Amino acid sequence: MNVLSNRAKSLKPSPTLAINARAKSMQAQGIHVISFGAGEPDFDTPRNIKAAAVKAIEEGFTKYTPVGGTEDLKDAIINKFQRDNGLTYKRSEVLASCGGKHSFYNLAQAIFDEGDEVIVPAPYWVSYPPMVALARADPIIVETKEENGFKLSMEDLKKALTPKTKALIINSPSNPTGSAYSKKELEEIADLAVSKNFFVISDEIYEKIVYDHFKVVSIASLGEEIRKRTVIVHGVAKTYAMTGWRIGYAAGPEEIVSAMSNIQSQSTSNPTSIAQKASVEALGGPQEDVAKMVTAFEQRRNYIVDRLNKIPGVSCFKPIGAFYVFPNFFSYYGKSYQGKKITNSTELADYFLEVARVAVVPGIEFGADPFERLSYATSLEDIKEGLTRIEESLKNLA
């Protein structure tokens, strides 16, 4: 008898979280590791948000809530879409879940079947292909190029379409590259989705973390036809430094949202009641702390991109949003350290961790081996020190 299901056997832990755990365990052993691992803002959750949670506890708001979130949270989500994206949703078209990842998981379970193809542009966030596969659909990886700003070309997208194409995943701004689509580019994608009749899963979790006055547009806002074919996946984790609170949300056609709610009802039930109250405050309360965090991220981005591009043989795309850089280290592959050859992003990441004491996530985990991902949601001081270590360790490769 097989103990594990085939599904479980083919699954490995999320590499972003695994790297984080590895860095933390080294730190616990007293090793000074600089972590550019998981994308987690180093800021504390803003005070007003924490106060809302404390109030919820004090008032005994500690019981089951409706599966897809309380009415006040749904209204806060609806108001956010109206205010920021000009999108009008009803309560039956939005759902709160236990993190953006959970929203995506529910969605995959709700709309994918065996034989469905889901287009995943690479570099992609590490959990998209496994979550598509867990829903028994086939992730179809379409590569993008660094020189095109890591954006999907319409030509490549069209080539990847088949009668089995059920959906396209877009993540703008993107984890891991920080690239983002303009309104015009999204219009082209939307036109194709409507004419070829496939869904768009739009992961907008980094919407608020953008630089150089870039204007984020939600593809769902580009017309009624595309709105009917789009499910937005979002969450409070990145914007409000609330990664541990686990509140994500989704918005889309009622039929899909209702199926997602059924899946949630049979698995996790509602997301944590207290975290829901905190999220109402996050979405509807003062937004000044977000602006402060984004200003700090922008300063760090400028620094990190500049320094990486000064390292011989390294190129780094300047992100428009999110808090990751995705530098290309390909010119170092084939070099050796103490007789051991480094041939790919995993071996280089291991070298950085073991020798330089710097944690990065290998590009291969995002479907792009020439690269490493560095999260700059960490202090400028650590960024400076981490880059010095990377730079020095690269000099030791021959």
Calpha distance 118→166 (Å, rounded): 6
Give min distance, CB of 370 to ligand GLU, in A: 19
Interface pick for ligand GLU out of 17, 133, 160, 311 (rule CB under 6 A) = 17
Residue 134 found at the interface with ligand GLU (CB under 6 A): no
CB crowding 122-133: b at 16 or more within 10 Å, else e: bbbbbbbbbbbb
Binding mask 55-94 for ligand GLU (x = CB under 6 A): ----------------------------------------
Q: Which is nearer to ligand GLU, 39 or 363 (CB)?
A: 39
Q: Which is nearer to ligand GLU, 18 or 397 (CB)?
A: 18
Q: Which is nearer to ligand GLU, 117 or 203 (CB)?
A: 203
Residue 14 found at the interface with ligand GLU (CB under 6 A): yes
Interface pick for ligand GLU out of 16, 65, 97, 109 (rule CB under 6 A) = 16
Residue 378 found at the interface with ligand GLU (CB under 6 A): no
Give the Å distances, CA to CA, from 379 to 47, 204, 386: 20, 24, 10
The residue behind tokens 């599904």 is 7
Give min distance, CB of 301 to ligand GLU, in A: 16
Residue 38 found at the interface with ligand GLU (CB under 6 A): yes
Please check whether residue 86 is in contact with residue 107, taking contact to mean a CB–CB distance below 8 angstroms. no
The residue behind tokens 């739009």 is 202
Calpha distance 328→316 (Å, rounded): 6
Hey, how many other C-beta atoms are within 10 angstroms of the C-beta on 1?
Answer: 2
Residue 175 found at the interface with ligand GLU (CB under 6 A): yes
Residue 39 found at the interface with ligand GLU (CB under 6 A): yes
Q: Helices 288-310 and 380-395, interaxial angle, to 10°?
A: 20
Task: Select from 124-132, 153-161, 268-276, 338-346 the region that touches ligand GLU (CB under 6 A).
Answer: 124-132
Written as six digits, the tokens of 345 are: 């992003």
